[in-house]
Chain A
Amino acid sequence: MEHDPFRWGRPSDQAYGEYNNSIAHAGQQQSFPKMNTQQPIVTGTSVIAIKFKDGIVIAADNLGSYGSLARFTDVERLFPVGDHAVVGISGDISDLQYVSRLLEDLEIENNYDYDGHSLRAPHIHEYLQKVFYHRRSKMDPLWNSTIVGGLDDSGKPFLKYVDLLGVQYSAPTLATGFGAYLALPILRKVVFEEKDVEKIDEETARNAIKECMKVLFYRDARSLDKYSLITITKKNGVVFEKGLKSEEQSWRFAKDIKGYGTQKV
């Protein structure tokens, strides 16, 4: 017989062991040392982008991976900001959502002014770089690699990278994650250096990006053949194409791949 009325109706210690009171107080307890993000959880893979003479093309697939599991297949990872800029985000999806909210707030605040000073790609990149570097300095990084694309102050194509460490660089072709190994060499065949940008038209740039998205789907096991693509030009502004599919796939090469899977080496 349990004589303490306070314990009536609770799981018996005999059967379950003594109740762990920290469970009831979870949330109020701060463990020390504090732990921040150590690794991304749900992730998005590569973002790839290229400049052409009138603007930029950028693409990212719609997959949110949970480890090797293709968990979410409808994640949008391209975020237009203002009239002539876009941010493409790879890496942790929850941090991506946080960054997208920052960008949304930024645009709203800027629109309050309504003084003809639009937020352009270089401003957005500078801001994001400050956010990322601030967070890595707090030892609590936003686990992303991003590409900011659009037009700069003089209407010229603009592409710049920034990642979770605050590292930043600019190039006529850019890719995050696996794309840096698989897509960049292909894109560099089209545009090798800054002066080549003038020779490339929108059609060529688009085709190069589409080809790269297909190659990435072939070779990157955390990718999807459904992707979004944004083209930014002075003439048409931001053109957003969602739910594109990598067409004309050929998997004939797959049977020759040895070393894993069902075949014996």
Chain B
Amino acid sequence: MMVILLLTHQLVEYALEAIKQGSAVVGLATKEYAVLVALKRNAEELGSYQKKIIKVDDHLGIALAGLAPDARVLSNFLREQALNQKMIFNRPLSTEKAATLLADKAQKNTQSYGGRPYGVGLLVIGYDETGAHLFEFQPSGSSLEYVGAAIGARSQAGRTYLERSFEAYANSTKEELIVHGLNALRDTLAQDKELNSKNTSISIVGKDIDFTLYDDDDVQQWLDRLDSVSNARTGVNNDNNDDDDNNDDNEEPTKKEGEDEEDKMETD
């Protein structure tokens, strides 16, 4: 029995690790708007980019870091719940309820033998009668509300940006909020990478705007708003070692010590 308990516990740790393997997503919320920005990956040069942001309902959406198939299972579940709420009560699923439902579903996986936790972290944004909200969901079964959150590879740099600027964007317009999001996302990039219309996804929901997703060519208008320091990193934290561990985050986290390329799960 002890062994099983130990295994389940470890699986959750692995699941949380899988999130860190996924590319970064950043979420921000004010009272009126919530924004998600995400960095998309393509498995190979000729391949398409993996979708990072999924619309759930007119007022609700998620961004994922980790195993994309698991995220699809969870987003289908959320869509079902949102439709149910619409059909039975004629009201939109509240953002907090959505996050709680996800957490409850994920927690069940952690306490059953033979099951595995979901290998994906989500940022959930939504707008309802209590305003705009941002929740971070983890496969351990926790979901907490934030005004700014970042998950995925090198997300600590994005979080650092948010920690520095969350007071500044508390009352900002939706345009400013997206730019703040892109700034945070840009900070998570490796030195040789930059944001472009192919690898960036943006979504917003809020007071006067349904959940809207910008991809590909629609992203350019937002990238154009980034300051002239260009797509390069802001350079405030060049040591790029501002997170809790002692690893040099300039290295791709997928190439950490002792990790066999073949063992690795495909995370996005």
Interface residue ranges, A against B (CB under 8 Å): 113, 115-117, 119, 122-123, 126-127, 130, 153
Contacts and interface: CB of A to CB of B under 8 A. Distances in A.
Contacts of A130: 87-88
A117 B97 contact: yes
Nearest to A125: B90
- Which among A115, A119, A127, A153 has the greatest number of chain B C-beta atoms within 10 A? A115
A116 B91 CA distance: 14
A130 B85 CA distance: 12
A130 B84 CA distance: 11
B128 interface: yes
A113 B91 CA distance: 15
Interface in B110-146: 128-130
A126 B130 contact: no
B89 A115 contact: no
A30 B87 CA distance: 34
Nearest to B96: A115
B100 interface: yes
A126 B87 CA distance: 8
B94 interface: yes
Contacts of B91: 117, 122-123
Contacts of A115: 94, 96-97, 130
A127 B87 CA distance: 8
A116 B128 CA distance: 10
A156 to B, nearest CB: 15
Given A113-B96, A113-B100, A115-B94, A126 B89 contact: yes
A122 B100 CA distance: 24
Contacts of A123: 89-91
B96 A126 contact: no
A113 B97 contact: yes
A126 B84 CA distance: 12
Contacts of B87: 130
Contacts of A117: 91, 94, 96-97, 128-130
Contact of A126 (B88, B97, B128): B88
A153 B88 CA distance: 16
Contacts of A153: 129
Contacts of B129: 116-117, 153
Given A115-B130, A153-B129, A127 B88 contact: yes
A130 B130 CA distance: 26
Contacts of A126: 88-90
